[in-house]
Amino acid sequence: MKMNLKSAASAAVIAALMGAATVSLATPVLAQVQAPQLTLRSEEAAHPQIVRAIHEMSEALREMERAPHDFGGNKAKAIADTRQAIHSLRKALYYRLKLDDEAIDRAQ
Protein backbone atom coordinates (compact mmCIF):
# COMPACT_ATOMS: atom_id res chain seq x y z
CA MET A 1 0.00 0.00 0.00
CA LYS A 2 2.92 2.33 0.71
CA MET A 3 4.13 1.74 -2.81
CA ASN A 4 0.78 2.73 -4.31
CA LEU A 5 0.65 5.90 -2.20
CA LYS A 6 4.20 6.81 -3.29
CA SER A 7 3.30 6.16 -6.93
CA ALA A 8 0.19 8.30 -6.68
CA ALA A 9 2.15 11.13 -5.03
CA SER A 10 4.84 10.92 -7.69
CA ALA A 11 2.25 10.97 -10.46
CA ALA A 12 0.60 14.03 -8.90
CA VAL A 13 3.95 15.88 -8.69
CA ILE A 14 4.80 15.00 -12.29
CA ALA A 15 1.35 16.09 -13.50
CA ALA A 16 1.65 19.37 -11.61
CA LEU A 17 5.09 20.03 -13.06
CA MET A 18 3.92 19.22 -16.56
CA GLY A 19 0.93 21.51 -16.17
CA ALA A 20 3.17 24.37 -15.00
CA ALA A 21 5.52 23.80 -17.91
CA THR A 22 2.63 23.87 -20.35
CA VAL A 23 1.32 27.16 -18.97
CA SER A 24 4.74 28.83 -18.97
CA LEU A 25 5.37 27.77 -22.58
CA ALA A 26 1.97 28.97 -23.80
CA THR A 27 2.10 32.42 -22.21
CA PRO A 28 4.82 33.97 -24.47
CA VAL A 29 3.05 32.67 -27.57
CA LEU A 30 -0.12 34.52 -26.60
CA ALA A 31 1.85 37.71 -25.95
CA GLN A 32 3.34 37.53 -29.45
CA VAL A 33 -0.09 37.16 -31.05
CA GLN A 34 -1.56 40.11 -29.15
CA ALA A 35 1.11 42.65 -30.20
CA PRO A 36 1.11 43.06 -34.01
CA GLN A 37 3.95 45.09 -35.52
CA LEU A 38 2.62 48.38 -36.90
CA THR A 39 4.47 49.93 -39.82
CA LEU A 40 3.72 52.39 -42.60
CA ARG A 41 3.22 49.43 -44.94
CA SER A 42 0.91 47.53 -42.58
CA GLU A 43 -1.30 50.60 -42.14
CA GLU A 44 -1.38 51.15 -45.92
CA ALA A 45 -2.28 47.51 -46.51
CA ALA A 46 -5.13 47.81 -44.01
CA HIS A 47 -6.61 50.89 -45.74
CA PRO A 48 -6.07 50.66 -49.51
CA GLN A 49 -8.86 53.11 -50.40
CA ILE A 50 -7.25 55.87 -48.32
CA VAL A 51 -3.92 55.16 -50.01
CA ARG A 52 -5.60 55.40 -53.43
CA ALA A 53 -7.27 58.68 -52.44
CA ILE A 54 -3.90 60.12 -51.38
CA HIS A 55 -2.41 59.04 -54.70
CA GLU A 56 -5.27 60.53 -56.74
CA MET A 57 -5.17 63.81 -54.81
CA SER A 58 -1.39 64.00 -55.25
CA GLU A 59 -1.83 63.57 -59.01
CA ALA A 60 -4.48 66.32 -59.08
CA LEU A 61 -2.18 68.58 -57.06
CA ARG A 62 0.67 68.10 -59.55
CA GLU A 63 -1.70 68.82 -62.43
CA MET A 64 -2.93 72.05 -60.81
CA GLU A 65 0.63 73.15 -60.06
CA ARG A 66 1.69 72.60 -63.70
CA ALA A 67 -1.37 74.24 -65.20
CA PRO A 68 -0.63 77.51 -67.02
CA HIS A 69 -3.93 79.13 -65.97
CA ASP A 70 -5.31 79.97 -62.54
CA PHE A 71 -8.70 78.21 -62.81
CA GLY A 72 -10.67 81.44 -62.56
CA GLY A 73 -8.71 82.69 -59.58
CA ASN A 74 -9.17 79.45 -57.63
CA LYS A 75 -5.80 77.78 -58.26
CA ALA A 76 -3.89 78.98 -55.18
CA LYS A 77 -6.67 78.09 -52.73
CA ALA A 78 -7.32 74.74 -54.43
CA ILE A 79 -3.62 73.87 -54.18
CA ALA A 80 -3.48 74.84 -50.49
CA ASP A 81 -6.69 72.95 -49.69
CA THR A 82 -5.50 69.85 -51.55
CA ARG A 83 -2.19 69.86 -49.69
CA GLN A 84 -4.08 70.12 -46.39
CA ALA A 85 -6.45 67.31 -47.40
CA ILE A 86 -3.54 65.03 -48.31
CA HIS A 87 -1.89 65.78 -44.97
CA SER A 88 -5.16 65.06 -43.11
CA LEU A 89 -5.59 61.73 -44.93
CA ARG A 90 -2.02 60.70 -44.07
CA LYS A 91 -2.55 61.75 -40.46
CA ALA A 92 -5.66 59.55 -40.30
CA LEU A 93 -3.93 56.65 -42.07
CA TYR A 94 -0.89 56.61 -39.78
CA TYR A 95 -2.49 57.73 -36.50
CA ARG A 96 -1.64 54.47 -34.67
CA LEU A 97 2.06 55.04 -35.40
CA LYS A 98 1.96 58.31 -33.40
CA LEU A 99 3.97 60.28 -35.96
CA ASP A 100 4.47 64.03 -35.74
CA ASP A 101 3.40 66.28 -38.63
CA GLU A 102 6.86 66.37 -40.23
CA ALA A 103 7.11 62.58 -40.22
CA ILE A 104 3.61 62.32 -41.69
CA ASP A 105 4.55 64.68 -44.52
CA ARG A 106 7.72 62.65 -45.25
CA ALA A 107 5.75 59.38 -45.42
CA GLN A 108 5.13 58.53 -49.05
From CA 41, how far away is CA 35, in angstroms rounded?
A: 16
The terminus-to-terminus CA distance of the chain in angstroms comes to: 77
DSSP track, 48-91: HHHHHHHHHHHHHHHHHHH-SS-GGGTHHHHHHHHHHHHHHHHH
As a whole number, mean pLDDT of residues 77-93 equals 96
The pLDDT of residue 2 is: 54
| pTM of full prediction above 0.85 | no
SS3 30: helix
pLDDT digits (tens, 9 = 90+) for 89-107: 999 999 989 888 888 888 8
As a whole number, mean pLDDT of residues 11-33 equals 56
The pLDDT of residue 74 is: 96
